[in-house]
């Protein structure tokens, strides 16, 4: 992905933006997880 971005734009700035957006998405996904400490994994 990074190589394609650099090749299509001619700049590494697009890779930086891509990585920042991917990091933000990952952080938001991790922040939205519920704490499941002590909750049994079985459903029976």
Q: How far apart are CA 23 and CA 28, in angstroms?
A: 9
pLDDT in tens, 13-40: 999 999 999 999 999 999 999 998 888 8
The torsion defined by the Cα of 3, 9, 14 and 19, in degrees rounded to 10, comes to -20
Q: How far apart are CA 18 and CA 25, in angstroms?
A: 11
Per-residue pLDDT band for 42 (boundaries 50, 70, 90) equals: confident
């Amino acid at each position: 992905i990074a190589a394609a971005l650099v090749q299509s734009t001619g700049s590494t700035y697009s890779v930086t933006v891509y990585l920042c957006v991917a990091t933000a998405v990952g952080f938001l996904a991790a922040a939205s997880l519920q704490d499941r400490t002590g909750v049994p994994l079985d459903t029976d």
